[in-house]
Amino acid sequence: MSASSPLTVPDDSPFGVHNLPYGVFTTADRPEQRRIGVAIGDHVLDAGAAARSVGALAEPGFATLEAPSLNPLLAAGRPVWTAVRAAITRWLTDEALRAAVEPCLVPRADVTLHLPFEVADYVDFYASEHHATNLGRIFRPGSEPLTPNWKHLPIGYHGRSGTIVVSGTPITRPSGQRKAPADPVPDFGPSRRLDIEAELGFVVGTPTELGSPVALADAAEHVFGVCLVNDWSARDLQAWEYVPLGPFLGKSFATSVSPWIVPLDALAQARTTPPERDVEPLPYLDDRDAAAEPSGFDIAFEVRLNGHVVSRPPFAAMYWTYAQMLAHMTANGASLRTGDLFASGTISGPERETRGALIELTWNGQEPLKLADGSERTFLDDGDEVVITATAPGPNGTRLGFGEVAGRIVPRPTT
């Protein structure tokens, strides 16, 4: 294999051999045929074709690689996830196997990426203490910024699965009821306070039966991997509607996700201990066992607005972990389905420049952001493009990439 082989991936590639995220792609010559791909360097490995090429399709669970979405692989469970990941690693590193799978590579620039799995239920959490504190200060000035329940349970709510879209999908500015506190009645029109929320999403693979809570220690048996999430939010719609039953139309118009699902197994070096629990957790949420693998992740996010970095939210600062979110979400007996997606909520760190939403970065619009091009923003203008990326430590000093979740705001057509 020569140094010019597409499989000779430089160490600083976000998609090196230690990452191997899964997605679903099509190519221009077969636009109807969705295929599972694995990102490697600047290429995508057609995973089903590769499995066929090396004669692996008969191995248990490997036929899921020929599906048009990740759901069958997600449903196959951790033993299959581990076996498939180990096999793909071999295909990409063993000299003889590399020759067999090289014809199954497609340049990444030549593929169209799709929503990689069919989303079952979507839950959005509120797991950043800094974000929750900032929003409490903005929305409920004069009260304690954190509600009394905040440190006892990971607050969450169900979002709309049907409007989850893949990165790159244009985001139409939503209309809705807008009412500032001083207005006597609401009016209806395009949101004037369109915002982002930079989040990490967790993709459920192995389902559970109704009545079977998932213990903290079992979280990794059910979670296949992670993606980046932009939970677009119309703050004016949200502020007017959300009491008493929570966010609805302020969120349900669109939620964007990155096309690559990074396996949990790729994040071994990124695991980190979450912040100190300064309120005693109930036993089902108590993760203070120093011997257990920590469930925090040291993932460094970047948020770009029209190309300018406006924030660098640190996932390591999140108070609640994905394992606690999953344990809480199922503590009442609620079942999981393959394809369930739960997201962290906005990732905000302690400093202003690490806040993951414009409402915090601009303090509810009172302190506009100055972009490097000289323009100012409070909330999003039509035409604005938001791109969220992230990296995490991999083995041997490498850094893993997550791809990106991008979206451009388009005005609502006047009909």
Cβ proximity to a copy of itself: between 85 and 248 the closer is: 248
Q: Which stretch binds a copy of itself (CB under 8 A): 31-39, 43-51, 219-227, 242-250?
A: 242-250
d(CA 130, CA 346): 9
Written as six digits, the tokens of 182 are 């001083």
Question: What backbone torsions phi and psi does residue 218 show, to the nearest 5 degrees?
Answer: -100, 5
Check residue 145 for interaction with a copy of itself (CB under 8 A): no
Q: Which of 45, 165, 316, 400 binds a copy of itself (CB under 8 A)?
A: 165
d(CA 122, CA 323): 16
Please say whether the beta carbons of 344 and 315 come within 8 A. Answer: yes
Q: Which stretch binds a copy of itself (CB under 8 A): 216-224, 245-253, 266-274, 359-367?
A: 245-253
Check residue 245 for interaction with a copy of itself (CB under 8 A): yes
Q: Which of 329, 380, 387, 392 binds a copy of itself (CB under 8 A)?
A: 329
What single DSSP character describes residue 64?
G
d(CA 28, CA 385): 25
Write down the least CB distance from residue 239 to a copy of itself, Å: 10
Write down the least CB distance from residue 255 to a copy of itself, Å: 11
Check residue 221 for interaction with a copy of itself (CB under 8 A): no
Q: Which stretch binds a copy of itself (CB under 8 A): 36-44, 51-59, 257-265, 282-290?
A: 282-290
Beta bridge partners of 229: 199, 257
Beta bridge partners of 187: 178
Nearest CA among 97, 102, 115 for reference residue 22? 115
Check residue 328 for interaction with a copy of itself (CB under 8 A): yes
Q: Which of 57, 157, 192, 302 binds a copy of itself (CB under 8 A)?
A: 157
d(CA 326, CA 348): 21
The catalytic residue among 43, 131, 222, 328 is 131
d(CA 176, CA 242): 13
Q: Which of 185, 291, 373, 376 binds a copy of itself (CB under 8 A)?
A: 185
Cβ proximity to a copy of itself: between 8 and 143 the closer is: 143
DSSP 3-state assignment of 62? helix
- State yes or no: is 222 an active-site residue: no
Write down the least CB distance from residue 377 to a copy of itself, Å: 22
Please tell me the count of residues contacting a copy of itself according to CB under 8 A.
64
Cβ proximity to a copy of itself: between 7 and 249 the closer is: 249
Cβ proximity to a copy of itself: between 19 and 238 the closer is: 238
Write down the least CB distance from residue 238 to a copy of itself, Å: 10
Check residue 139 for interaction with a copy of itself (CB under 8 A): yes
d(CA 27, CA 114): 11
Q: Are strands 198-204 and 223-230 parallel, antiparallel or unpaired?
A: antiparallel
Q: Which residues contact 256 (CB under 8 A, 6 or more apart)?
A: 164, 165, 166, 167, 169, 171, 229, 230, 232, 405, 406, 407
Q: Which stretch binds a copy of itself (CB under 8 A): 19-27, 159-167, 351-359, 383-391?
A: 159-167
Count the neighbouring beta carbons within 10 Å of the beta carbon of residue 187: 9
Of residues 45 through 84, those in contact with a copy of itself by CB under 8 A are none
Check residue 177 for interaction with a copy of itself (CB under 8 A): yes
Cβ proximity to a copy of itself: between 94 and 280 the closer is: 280
Write down the least CB distance from residue 392 to a copy of itself, Å: 28
Whole-angstrom Cα Rg for the chain: 21
Check residue 254 for interaction with a copy of itself (CB under 8 A): yes
Q: How far is CA 114 from CA 117, 165, 166, 169, 336, in A?
A: 9, 9, 6, 10, 23
- The number of helices, as runs of H, and strands, as runs of E, in the chain is 9, 26
Question: What backbone torsions phi and psi does residue 102 show, to the nearest 5 degrees?
Answer: -55, -35
Residues involved in catalysis: 131
Residues that bind a copy of itself (CB under 8 A): 120-121, 123, 126, 139, 147, 149, 152-153, 155-163, 165, 172, 174-177, 179, 185-188, 210-211, 213, 234, 237, 240-250, 252-254, 280, 282-284, 328-329, 331-337, 340, 412-413
